[in-house]
Amino acid sequence: MISSSVIAGCMRWGTWGAKFSTQEYSTLIQQCIENGITTFDHADIYGHYTTEAEFGKAIALNKGIRKNIQLITKCGINLVTENRPQHTIKSYNTSAKHIISSVEQSLKNLCTDYLDCLLIHRPDPLLNAAEVADTIDTLIQSGKVLEFGLSNFLPHQSALLQQHIKLSYNQIELSLTHTDSLLDGTLEYAMQHGTSIMIWSPLGQGIFAGDHPKKEALLNLFNQLSEKYNCQPSQIPNAWLNQLPCKPIPVIGSTQLNRIVQAKEALNIVMEREDWYRLLEVAIGKEVA
Protein backbone atom coordinates (compact mmCIF):
# COMPACT_ATOMS: atom_id res chain seq x y z
CA MET A 1 0.00 0.00 0.00
CA ILE A 2 1.30 3.44 -0.95
CA SER A 3 1.75 5.28 2.33
CA SER A 4 2.76 8.79 1.24
CA SER A 5 0.18 11.56 1.01
CA VAL A 6 2.20 12.84 -1.96
CA ILE A 7 4.48 10.93 -4.32
CA ALA A 8 7.87 12.11 -5.52
CA GLY A 9 7.87 11.84 -9.31
CA CYS A 10 11.33 10.98 -10.64
CA MET A 11 10.88 11.57 -14.38
CA ARG A 12 13.03 14.72 -14.38
CA TRP A 13 15.66 13.61 -11.87
CA GLY A 14 17.91 12.21 -14.59
CA THR A 15 18.61 12.77 -18.28
CA TRP A 16 15.24 14.38 -18.95
CA GLY A 17 15.83 17.12 -16.40
CA ALA A 18 18.20 17.74 -13.51
CA LYS A 19 20.81 15.12 -14.53
CA PHE A 20 21.47 14.27 -10.89
CA SER A 21 24.65 12.56 -9.83
CA THR A 22 24.31 9.41 -7.71
CA GLN A 23 25.00 11.46 -4.60
CA GLU A 24 22.35 14.02 -5.58
CA TYR A 25 19.82 11.23 -6.05
CA SER A 26 20.76 9.84 -2.64
CA THR A 27 20.50 13.21 -0.94
CA LEU A 28 17.04 14.02 -2.31
CA ILE A 29 15.75 10.53 -1.53
CA GLN A 30 16.89 10.87 2.07
CA GLN A 31 15.47 14.39 2.37
CA CYS A 32 12.11 13.20 1.06
CA ILE A 33 12.05 10.37 3.60
CA GLU A 34 12.88 12.78 6.41
CA ASN A 35 9.85 14.83 5.39
CA GLY A 36 7.49 11.86 5.30
CA ILE A 37 7.54 11.46 1.53
CA THR A 38 8.43 7.82 1.04
CA THR A 39 6.90 6.89 -2.32
CA PHE A 40 8.82 7.38 -5.58
CA ASP A 41 7.27 7.18 -9.04
CA HIS A 42 9.19 5.83 -12.03
CA ALA A 43 8.62 4.42 -15.50
CA ASP A 44 10.95 2.19 -17.46
CA ILE A 45 11.18 4.78 -20.24
CA TYR A 46 12.24 7.75 -18.10
CA GLY A 47 15.55 9.20 -19.22
CA HIS A 48 15.37 7.01 -22.31
CA TYR A 49 15.50 3.92 -20.05
CA THR A 50 18.24 5.27 -17.74
CA THR A 51 16.59 6.95 -14.73
CA GLU A 52 15.55 3.78 -12.90
CA ALA A 53 19.13 2.50 -12.89
CA GLU A 54 20.50 5.85 -11.73
CA PHE A 55 18.00 5.86 -8.87
CA GLY A 56 18.91 2.25 -8.09
CA LYS A 57 22.59 3.14 -7.70
CA ALA A 58 21.59 5.64 -5.03
CA ILE A 59 19.50 3.00 -3.25
CA ALA A 60 22.48 0.65 -3.35
CA LEU A 61 24.50 3.16 -1.34
CA ASN A 62 22.20 2.46 1.61
CA LYS A 63 20.42 -0.84 1.17
CA GLY A 64 18.66 -0.46 4.52
CA ILE A 65 16.64 2.36 3.02
CA ARG A 66 14.52 0.04 0.83
CA LYS A 67 12.26 -1.03 3.69
CA ASN A 68 11.38 2.63 4.32
CA ILE A 69 10.24 3.49 0.80
CA GLN A 70 7.73 2.40 -1.82
CA LEU A 71 8.66 2.13 -5.49
CA ILE A 72 6.18 2.58 -8.33
CA THR A 73 7.11 1.96 -11.93
CA LYS A 74 5.29 1.73 -15.22
CA CYS A 75 5.71 -0.30 -18.39
CA GLY A 76 4.00 -0.72 -21.73
CA ILE A 77 5.50 2.04 -23.89
CA ASN A 78 8.23 1.23 -26.41
CA LEU A 79 10.32 4.31 -27.16
CA VAL A 80 12.55 4.71 -30.18
CA THR A 81 15.95 5.42 -28.62
CA GLU A 82 19.53 4.31 -28.98
CA ASN A 83 19.09 2.48 -25.67
CA ARG A 84 16.51 0.22 -27.32
CA PRO A 85 17.76 -0.25 -30.91
CA GLN A 86 15.22 -3.02 -31.50
CA HIS A 87 12.38 -0.45 -31.36
CA THR A 88 11.73 0.90 -34.85
CA ILE A 89 8.51 2.80 -34.06
CA LYS A 90 6.99 4.23 -30.90
CA SER A 91 4.33 1.77 -29.84
CA TYR A 92 2.59 0.14 -26.88
CA ASN A 93 3.28 -3.40 -25.72
CA THR A 94 1.20 -5.07 -23.02
CA SER A 95 2.02 -8.66 -23.97
CA ALA A 96 2.92 -11.09 -21.21
CA LYS A 97 6.46 -11.39 -22.52
CA HIS A 98 6.98 -7.64 -22.47
CA ILE A 99 5.47 -7.08 -19.02
CA ILE A 100 7.59 -9.84 -17.49
CA SER A 101 10.80 -8.67 -19.14
CA SER A 102 10.07 -5.06 -18.15
CA VAL A 103 9.50 -6.03 -14.52
CA GLU A 104 12.68 -8.09 -14.40
CA GLN A 105 14.65 -5.18 -15.85
CA SER A 106 13.08 -2.67 -13.45
CA LEU A 107 13.89 -4.90 -10.47
CA LYS A 108 17.49 -5.04 -11.62
CA ASN A 109 17.63 -1.30 -12.31
CA LEU A 110 16.14 -0.32 -8.97
CA CYS A 111 18.29 -2.77 -6.98
CA THR A 112 15.25 -4.38 -5.40
CA ASP A 113 13.56 -7.76 -5.41
CA TYR A 114 10.02 -6.38 -5.47
CA LEU A 115 7.99 -3.44 -6.79
CA ASP A 116 5.41 -1.93 -4.49
CA CYS A 117 3.26 -1.03 -7.47
CA LEU A 118 3.34 -1.73 -11.21
CA LEU A 119 1.24 0.36 -13.61
CA ILE A 120 0.44 -0.19 -17.28
CA HIS A 121 1.57 3.15 -18.68
CA ARG A 122 -0.95 3.77 -21.46
CA PRO A 123 -4.06 2.12 -22.91
CA ASP A 124 -3.04 -0.31 -25.64
CA PRO A 125 -5.54 -1.13 -28.41
CA LEU A 126 -3.95 -4.60 -28.59
CA LEU A 127 -4.23 -5.21 -24.83
CA ASN A 128 -5.54 -8.68 -23.99
CA ALA A 129 -7.15 -8.23 -20.58
CA ALA A 130 -7.08 -11.91 -19.60
CA GLU A 131 -3.43 -12.24 -20.60
CA VAL A 132 -2.43 -9.13 -18.67
CA ALA A 133 -4.36 -10.27 -15.60
CA ASP A 134 -2.78 -13.75 -15.66
CA THR A 135 0.67 -12.20 -16.04
CA ILE A 136 0.16 -9.80 -13.14
CA ASP A 137 -1.28 -12.58 -10.98
CA THR A 138 1.89 -14.58 -11.59
CA LEU A 139 4.08 -11.62 -10.67
CA ILE A 140 2.07 -10.97 -7.52
CA GLN A 141 2.18 -14.63 -6.49
CA SER A 142 5.95 -14.60 -6.93
CA GLY A 143 6.26 -11.53 -4.70
CA LYS A 144 7.85 -9.44 -7.45
CA VAL A 145 4.88 -7.05 -7.59
CA LEU A 146 2.76 -6.13 -4.58
CA GLU A 147 0.01 -4.01 -6.16
CA PHE A 148 -1.18 -3.38 -9.71
CA GLY A 149 -2.80 -0.48 -11.47
CA LEU A 150 -3.11 1.58 -14.60
CA SER A 151 -2.03 4.95 -15.91
CA ASN A 152 -4.07 7.23 -18.18
CA PHE A 153 -6.96 4.76 -18.53
CA LEU A 154 -10.56 5.90 -19.04
CA PRO A 155 -13.45 4.14 -17.25
CA HIS A 156 -14.38 1.82 -20.12
CA GLN A 157 -10.73 0.82 -20.54
CA SER A 158 -10.37 0.18 -16.81
CA ALA A 159 -13.61 -1.82 -16.76
CA LEU A 160 -12.23 -4.39 -19.18
CA LEU A 161 -9.33 -5.22 -16.88
CA GLN A 162 -11.46 -4.85 -13.74
CA GLN A 163 -13.36 -7.97 -14.86
CA HIS A 164 -10.18 -10.00 -14.45
CA ILE A 165 -8.04 -8.39 -11.73
CA LYS A 166 -8.16 -5.89 -8.89
CA LEU A 167 -6.98 -2.42 -9.89
CA SER A 168 -5.43 -0.65 -6.93
CA TYR A 169 -4.53 2.59 -8.72
CA ASN A 170 -5.12 4.69 -11.81
CA GLN A 171 -2.58 7.46 -12.39
CA ILE A 172 -4.13 10.21 -14.49
CA GLU A 173 -3.49 13.78 -15.58
CA LEU A 174 -5.74 16.22 -13.75
CA SER A 175 -5.22 19.88 -12.98
CA LEU A 176 -6.68 23.31 -13.52
CA THR A 177 -5.36 23.14 -17.08
CA HIS A 178 -6.58 19.60 -17.72
CA THR A 179 -10.05 19.12 -16.25
CA ASP A 180 -11.50 16.36 -18.45
CA SER A 181 -11.42 13.75 -15.69
CA LEU A 182 -13.77 15.80 -13.52
CA LEU A 183 -16.71 14.92 -15.77
CA ASP A 184 -15.73 11.88 -17.86
CA GLY A 185 -16.52 9.34 -15.13
CA THR A 186 -12.90 8.46 -14.28
CA LEU A 187 -13.09 9.61 -10.66
CA GLU A 188 -16.52 8.12 -10.02
CA TYR A 189 -15.50 4.79 -11.54
CA ALA A 190 -12.42 4.66 -9.34
CA MET A 191 -14.38 5.37 -6.16
CA GLN A 192 -17.04 2.83 -7.11
CA HIS A 193 -14.41 0.09 -7.49
CA GLY A 194 -12.06 1.02 -4.66
CA THR A 195 -9.30 2.26 -6.98
CA SER A 196 -7.09 5.05 -5.66
CA ILE A 197 -6.33 7.95 -7.97
CA MET A 198 -2.81 9.26 -8.47
CA ILE A 199 -2.44 12.55 -10.34
CA TRP A 200 0.50 13.48 -12.53
CA SER A 201 1.18 17.12 -13.43
CA PRO A 202 -1.13 18.37 -10.64
CA LEU A 203 0.13 21.96 -10.92
CA GLY A 204 -0.98 22.15 -14.53
CA GLN A 205 1.17 22.54 -17.57
CA GLY A 206 2.10 26.07 -18.51
CA ILE A 207 0.75 27.92 -15.46
CA PHE A 208 3.95 28.64 -13.55
CA ALA A 209 6.30 28.22 -16.50
CA GLY A 210 5.65 28.43 -20.19
CA ASP A 211 2.68 29.91 -21.96
CA HIS A 212 -0.93 29.07 -21.21
CA PRO A 213 -3.97 31.14 -22.26
CA LYS A 214 -5.35 31.19 -18.69
CA LYS A 215 -1.95 31.72 -17.05
CA GLU A 216 -2.36 35.36 -16.00
CA ALA A 217 -5.91 34.95 -14.73
CA LEU A 218 -5.06 31.83 -12.75
CA LEU A 219 -1.91 33.30 -11.23
CA ASN A 220 -3.86 36.38 -10.13
CA LEU A 221 -6.43 34.17 -8.43
CA PHE A 222 -3.70 32.02 -6.85
CA ASN A 223 -2.20 35.16 -5.34
CA GLN A 224 -5.56 36.28 -3.95
CA LEU A 225 -6.36 32.88 -2.45
CA SER A 226 -2.86 32.40 -1.04
CA GLU A 227 -3.41 35.47 1.12
CA LYS A 228 -6.77 34.15 2.27
CA TYR A 229 -5.43 30.68 3.12
CA ASN A 230 -2.00 31.86 4.32
CA CYS A 231 -0.05 29.72 1.90
CA GLN A 232 2.14 29.92 -1.18
CA PRO A 233 0.40 30.59 -4.54
CA SER A 234 1.90 27.36 -5.88
CA GLN A 235 0.04 25.41 -3.17
CA ILE A 236 -3.40 26.46 -4.39
CA PRO A 237 -3.61 23.93 -7.29
CA ASN A 238 -2.83 21.00 -4.97
CA ALA A 239 -5.27 22.28 -2.36
CA TRP A 240 -7.90 22.50 -5.12
CA LEU A 241 -7.35 18.87 -6.11
CA ASN A 242 -7.40 17.69 -2.50
CA GLN A 243 -11.01 18.83 -2.10
CA LEU A 244 -12.12 16.06 -4.46
CA PRO A 245 -13.98 13.26 -2.68
CA CYS A 246 -11.64 10.61 -4.13
CA LYS A 247 -8.72 12.22 -2.22
CA PRO A 248 -6.20 11.84 -5.04
CA ILE A 249 -2.50 11.36 -4.40
CA PRO A 250 -0.47 13.97 -6.30
CA VAL A 251 2.73 12.94 -8.06
CA ILE A 252 5.07 15.90 -7.65
CA GLY A 253 7.56 16.02 -10.49
CA SER A 254 9.80 18.73 -9.05
CA THR A 255 13.50 18.15 -8.41
CA GLN A 256 13.44 20.70 -5.58
CA LEU A 257 12.73 19.47 -2.06
CA ASN A 258 10.95 22.62 -0.92
CA ARG A 259 8.39 22.31 -3.70
CA ILE A 260 7.72 18.66 -2.90
CA VAL A 261 7.27 19.51 0.78
CA GLN A 262 5.04 22.49 -0.03
CA ALA A 263 2.82 20.18 -2.06
CA LYS A 264 2.45 17.92 0.96
CA GLU A 265 1.63 20.86 3.23
CA ALA A 266 -0.98 22.08 0.75
CA LEU A 267 -3.10 19.05 1.61
CA ASN A 268 -3.85 20.67 4.97
CA ILE A 269 -5.65 23.58 3.31
CA VAL A 270 -9.44 23.34 3.54
CA MET A 271 -10.77 25.34 0.62
CA GLU A 272 -14.23 26.84 0.63
CA ARG A 273 -16.58 25.44 -2.00
CA GLU A 274 -17.11 28.76 -3.77
CA ASP A 275 -13.34 29.28 -4.03
CA TRP A 276 -13.04 25.82 -5.58
CA TYR A 277 -15.61 26.74 -8.21
CA ARG A 278 -14.05 30.16 -8.72
CA LEU A 279 -10.82 28.42 -9.70
CA LEU A 280 -12.68 26.05 -12.01
CA GLU A 281 -14.53 28.93 -13.67
CA VAL A 282 -11.28 30.75 -14.46
CA ALA A 283 -9.69 27.49 -15.66
CA ILE A 284 -12.43 26.60 -18.12
CA GLY A 285 -13.18 30.22 -19.07
CA LYS A 286 -16.88 30.15 -18.21
CA GLU A 287 -19.24 29.53 -15.34
CA VAL A 288 -20.45 25.98 -14.82
CA ALA A 289 -23.58 25.08 -16.77
Tell me the catalytic residues.
46
Query: How many Å apart are CA 264 and CA 249, to the nearest integer?
Result: 10
- CB distance 92 to 77 below 8 Å: yes
Of the candidates 128, 108, 112, 109, the one whose C-alpha atom is nearest the C-alpha of residue 120 is: 128
Work out the number of other CB atoms within 10 angstroms of the CB of residue 165. Answer: 17
Rg (CA), the chain: 19
Q: Which amino acid is at 109?
A: N
| 208 CB-near residues (< 8 Å, 6+ apart) | 219, 234
Query: How many Å apart are CA 234 and CA 232, to the nearest integer?
Result: 5
DSSP of 216-252: HHHHHHHHHHHHHHTS-GGGHHHHHHHTSTT--EEEE
Query: How many Å apart are CA 39 and CA 171, to the nearest integer?
Result: 14
Work out the number of other CB atoms within 10 angstroms of the CB of residue 21. Answer: 12
